[in-house]
């Protein structure tokens, strides 16, 4: 039995779909199992990563797991790692973050570093996926694109190689089901280096309408991140790191190709599949 946490989210949902399509037995963890609409045969399980008792039940009989955490990543990781170790789960794929390799210290990196350490400390064999920014982060543009044809960028306009959630899920599935060695750390990127403005141009082409492009002042984004995450000091550090030109995802890596045997998806494909979000 393979357990997927964060199973209703972007990466988890896609991994559940792929694993169940390949015929694997999948248990999908969500805080609202009654509302879940997983593929037929997938076993929804109620659980909250802040509630160790719920994790003990969710991990019963689990041989492998894909662990996707959100919010309090490090605290959740400690609970999940303890439950996996207690259940004798033989292999975990952990969705971490490329931010951990960033030269500027910041809260996102600290949280994911602590999460990786929690699994090492628990003695669970862990394959670590460290993706750079997701293609889906451009969903942040949807409201201003719909309302006034404007891409209002939050993370500056430095070049980087964003990655598709589909490819992250595929890497997780390959690590869980392939014959390759378990363990190791993989920095996942997409296939092409793009600035945000170049992504906006691709989106504009897909939508068939002109979009203006502007970069929001850093303090405006700090306010947004503070509203979303609740911690102003962390928001200041996170925005500075995301806007730094020294990002670890500045160049494409071969990791998606090596893990899945195929090239990662370009942004154009994500934009075409998600055009409806932008009106
Ligand atoms: N966005 C990026 O550019 C980027 C880059 C690198 C790494 N990451 C990392 O990717 C992870 C997020 O992945 P994602 O975008 O696929 O996730 P997501 O779409 O944000 O969904 C996460 C899921 O986690 C579940 N969840 C939230 N709190 C929970 C709790 N206390 N207990 C149990 N489940 C909980 C929610 O499901 P329910 O409501 O159904 O419970 C939610 O659907 C984060 O760790 C993030 O740091 C993101």
pTM of this prediction exceeds 0.95: yes
- 9-18, 57-66, 93-102, 227-236: segment of lowest average pLDDT: 227-236
Bridge partners of residue 160, in order along the sequence = 194
Question: What is the whole-number distance in angstroms between the Cα of residue 209 and the centre of ligand 1?
Answer: 32
**Is the beta carbon of 160 within 6 A of some atom in ligand 1?**
no
Q: Can you spell out the DSSP letters for 106-154? A: -HHHHHHHHHHHHHHHHT--EEEEEE-SBGGGGGGGHHHHHHHSEEEES
- The token pair at 1 is 């039995």
The SS3 of residue 28 is: strand
pLDDT tens profile 58-73: 999 999 999 999 989 9
Predicted pLDDT of residue 73:
97
Q: Which domain holds residue 54?
A: 2-278
Work out the pLDDT band at 230, boundaries 50, 70, 90: confident
Query: Given a cut of 90, is residue 1 above it in pLDDT?
Result: yes
Ligand 1: centre distance to CA 8 (Å): 8
- Asked whether residue 12 carries a pLDDT value surpassing 80, the answer given is yes
Tell the residue nearest (CA) to atom 17 of ligand 1.
Answer: 9
Contacts of 31 (CB under 8 A, 6+ apart): 46, 47, 48
- The pair of structure tokens assigned to 9 is 């989210």
Beta-carbon contacts of 134 under 8 Å, excluding residues fewer than 6 positions away, are 10, 162, 163, 164, 165, 168
Q: What is the pLDDT of residues 146-179, one digit of tens each?
A: 999 999 999 999 999 999 999 999 999 999 999 7
Any idea what the CATH number is for the domain that residue 99 is in? 3.40.50.720
* Total number of domains in the chain: 1
Is 180 a residue whose pLDDT tops 80? Answer: no
- Output the average pLDDT for the chain: 97
For residues 153 and 200, is the Cβ–Cβ distance under 8 A? Answer: yes
């Amino acid at each position: 039995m393979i357990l997927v946490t964060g199973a209703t989210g972007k990466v988890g949902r896609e991994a559940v779909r792929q694993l169940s399509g390949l015929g694997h037995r999948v248990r999908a963890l969500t805080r609202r199992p009654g509302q879940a609409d997983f593929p037929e045969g997938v076993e929804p399980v109620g659980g909250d990563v802040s509630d160790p008792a719920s994790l003990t039940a969710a991990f019963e009989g689990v041989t492998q797991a894909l662990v996707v955490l959100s919010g309090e990543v490090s605290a959740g990781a400690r609970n999940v790692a303890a439950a996996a170790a207690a259940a004798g789960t033989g292999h975990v794929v952990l969705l971490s973050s490329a931010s951990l390799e960033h030269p500027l210290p910041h809260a996102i990196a600290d949280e994911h570093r602590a999460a990786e350490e929690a699994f090492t400390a628990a003695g669970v064999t862990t394959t670590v996926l460290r993706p750079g920014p997701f293609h889906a982060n451009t969903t942040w543009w949807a409201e201003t694109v719909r309302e006034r044809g404007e891409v209002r960028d939050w993370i500056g306009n430095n070049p980087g190689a964003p990655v598709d959630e589909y490819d992250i899920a595929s890497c997780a599935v390959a690590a869980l089901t392939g014959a390759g060695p378990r363990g190791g750390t993989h920095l996942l990127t997409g296939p092409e280096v793009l600035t945000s403005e170049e992504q906006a141009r691709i989106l504009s082409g897909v939508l068939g309408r002109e979009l203006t492009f502007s970069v929001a002042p850093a303090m405006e984004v700090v306010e947004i991140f503070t509203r979303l995450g609740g911690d102003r000091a962390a928001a200041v550090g996170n925005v500075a790191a995301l806007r730094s030109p020294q990002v670890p995802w500045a160049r494409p890596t071969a990791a998606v190709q090596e893990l899945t045997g195929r090239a990662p998806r370009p942004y154009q494909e994500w934009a075409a599949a998600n055009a409806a979000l932008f009106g």
